[in-house]
Amino acid sequence: MMATPDPKCRLYLKLPPILSREVMAAFEQTIASADVACVLLAQSDTPPNFVQASEMLRRTQDRGIAFLVENDSELALILGADGLHLADAEENSYAQARARLGNAAIVGVSCGENRHTAMTFAEMGADYIAFGAPLAGERHAELIAWWSEIFQVPCVVLDVEDAEAAAQLAKLGADFVVPSASLWLADNAVQKFTEIAASITHARSAA
């Protein structure tokens, strides 16, 4: 389960809202070749393709990978997803999601760079805390190191650009890294994802 701290950092894939053939092909190849812990179906401005989403969930879960939905508790329930990721959540929305999905579901929360918000959701029982943009440089490093030293709740880092950055974050104590959405558009997307996965496999335990 994602709520159990792991001695190594693992890959967490956030799919883009538009699931083109190229994205789907990269997704299939990546979950087949890399150590992926979790896949997140991003929220879209248009209704999801339920057949496509259901097939993605099946293929993901068949590999022992958690499948989450962004922001939509009802969709998570309909699909049979493992849980929910809340972006820009408030305490009430977290409490409602937890009540709707139950304690067995994974419910993670994005907190930007707000330490107080992160601590609040950790105390409420969030399964992980996600930090993301506009974090950068030393400020970013300090936040991840601070969290990993004090809290047992796993830390997810969003919008990681490359393998070098991912390895540095893993050494600081990040439990999961999420590659930048822009990487899905790269011609060598699978290579980039597998390089990130390889770079973090042993980075944390070796730190």
| pLDDT on residue 136 | 55
pLDDT band at 201 (very low <50, low <70, confident <90, very high): confident
List, in order, residues 6 or more apart from 31 with CB less than 8 Å away: 13, 39, 59, 60, 63, 65
| pLDDT on residue 150 | 93
Token pair of 3 as six digits = 């709520």
Residue 5 lies in a domain: no
Higher-pLDDT residue of 62, 18:
62
Residue 2 lies in a domain: no
| pLDDT on residue 3 | 44
SS3 call for 192:
helix
Residue 121 belongs to a domain with what CATH number?
A: 3.20.20.70
Residue 128 lies in a domain: yes
Residue 3 lies in a domain: no
Secondary structure percentages of the chain, helix, strand, coil, to 5: 50, 20, 30
Residue 53 lies in a domain: yes
Domain that holds residue 92: 10-206
pLDDT band at 16 (very low <50, low <70, confident <90, very high): confident
| pLDDT on residue 62 | 96
Token pair of 86 as six digits = 């809340």
Token pair of 69 as six digits = 């939905």
pLDDT band at 200 (very low <50, low <70, confident <90, very high): very high
> What digits encode the pLDDT tens for the residues 173-188?
999 999 999 999 999 9
| pLDDT on residue 2 | 47
* H/E segment holding residue 55: helix 50-62
| pLDDT on residue 47 | 78
* Distance separating alpha carbons of residues 118 and 69, to the nearest angstrom: 20
- The number of CA neighbours under 13 Å toward the Cβ of 52 is 15
Q: Residue 48: what are its φ and ψ, rounded to 5°?
A: -70, 155
* Distance separating alpha carbons of residues 121 and 49, to the nearest angstrom: 31
Residue 130 lies in a domain: yes
Token pair of 61 as six digits = 């879960």
Q: How many domains does the chain have?
A: 1
pLDDT band at 17 (very low <50, low <70, confident <90, very high): confident
Residue 92 lies in a domain: yes
Residue 1 lies in a domain: no
Token pair of 13 as six digits = 């894939």
Q: Is there a cis peptide before residue 134, judged by omega within 30 degrees of 0?
A: yes
